[in-house]
Amino acid sequence: MTATPLTKIVQTGATGRIRWLSPDRGNCYLADPFPWPGTNRLLCEEMPFSGGNGRIVAIAPGHDGSWRAASVVLQSEEHHSYPCTFRDGEDTYFLPEATNRGAATLYRLVPDSDPTPVCVVAPGRRLADPTFFVHADRYWIAFTDLDIGVHDNLCLLHADKPTGPWQPHRCTPVKIDICGARPAGSLFRIGPQLFRPGQDCARTYGAALVIHRIDVLSPELYQETVVARLRPDPGGPFPHGLHTLAADQERVWLDGKRFVFDHARIQRKIIRLAGLAIGRTRDAGK
């Protein structure tokens, strides 16, 4: 996290000093931090190192300033990540990523209660990094459609109320660009202007963050302009990427990336490939 104001980040293209949090999660890692509005908690994806499905957990600061797991918010047979949150009046909405076809579900969040499903937003589509926001009295979801591409497209849905029906933007996809189309965190305002974080995936997935100013947004038109590019500190603890950005009233939360050599995973992959090769050899000998 950083205390550098969003205004300065947009103006300078620099995050300032980042304090990296590393809550002890045993055999799991945390990713995609989003503030839970009205609480002191963060929602994150918790993903096992050894594979399997991600789930959404809440973490909270302790008396000593360290962050610890507070609760499991969403866990099922689906993989869940990118727990995007949005406060709308008295309601807090929660739109986690679930990339199976038709699995993207908008929830209402209440502390110390299970999330309440509001609606399935796109029954026939596979949404990556779905980002919920409001603009010009309409509800919007920005996302990457995995049937179009993994890292290179920006699509939009809109509705006149959170329960839908959700309609695709007339120009969907509104953008094709591996250097910033895929969403990378909550949209935010500075004065009257609306800004959208995107992922620069040209070098690797989530290599850098790109901040766009949205110039035109309606159900028929979309235009945006790149205003800042945030790159990881090559000498820092997470030198290989900046993946998401989301802010509350006091701090900006960032998700860093570091490549590590996973001996166990490499060994499993070698064993699996060796098994496939043996099977093919046997088939060829029949």
CATH number of residue 169's parent domain: 2.115.10.20
Per-residue pLDDT tens over the stretch 214-272: 999 999 999 999 999 999 999 988 899 999 999 998 899 999 988 876 555 556 556 66
**Residue 1 included in any domain:** no
33 part of a folded domain: yes
At 110, the pLDDT band (50, 70, 90 cuts) reads very high
208 CB-contact burial (10 Å; exposed 0-12 / middle 13-18 / buried 19+): buried
Confidence (pLDDT) at 78:
92
What pTM, to 2 d.p., does this model score?
0.90
How far is 172 from 197, CA to CA, in rounded Å?
18
H helices within the chain, ranges in order?
6-12, 263-285
User: How many CA atoms lie within 13 Å of 94's alpha carbon, on the beta-carbon side?
Assistant: 27
d(CA 83, CA 62): 22
Number of domains observed in the structure of the chain: 1
Contacts of 15 (CB under 8 A, 6+ apart): 2, 4, 9, 230, 242, 252, 254
Whether residue 143 is contained in a domain is answered as yes
Residue type, 164: G
Neighbours of 77 (CB within 10 A): 6
Domain that holds residue 162: 6-285
Please give the residue that has the higher pLDDT: either 193 or 28: 193
Task: Determine, yes or no, domain membership for 151.
Answer: yes
CA-to-CA distance for 42 and 83, rounded, in angstroms? 10
Query: For 88-92, 132-136, 275-279, which range has the lowest pLDDT when averaged over its residues?
Result: 275-279
For 162-213, the DSSP string reads TT---EE-TTSS-EE-TTT-SB-B--EEETTEEEEEEEE-SSSTT-EEEEEE
231 domain-assigned: yes
Residue 177 placed within a domain: yes
Q: Is residue 269 part of a domain?
A: yes
User: What's the mean pLDDT in 138-146?
Assistant: 98
Q: Which residue has the higher pLDDT, 81 or 278?
A: 81
Residue 271 falls within a domain, yes or no? Answer: yes
Predicted pLDDT of residue 192: 96
Question: Which candidate, 224, 216, 228, places its Cα nearest to that of 175?
Answer: 224
Q: What's the pLDDT at 70?
A: 86
Beta strands 167-168 and 153-159 are: antiparallel
Indicate the length of the chain as a whole number. 286
Q: Mean pLDDT over all residues of the chain?
A: 91
Q: What is the pLDDT of residue 243?
A: 94
pLDDT for residue 181 is more than 90: yes
Give the list of residues 6+ apart from residue 23 with CB closer than 8 angstroms, or none.
30, 59, 66, 67, 68, 69
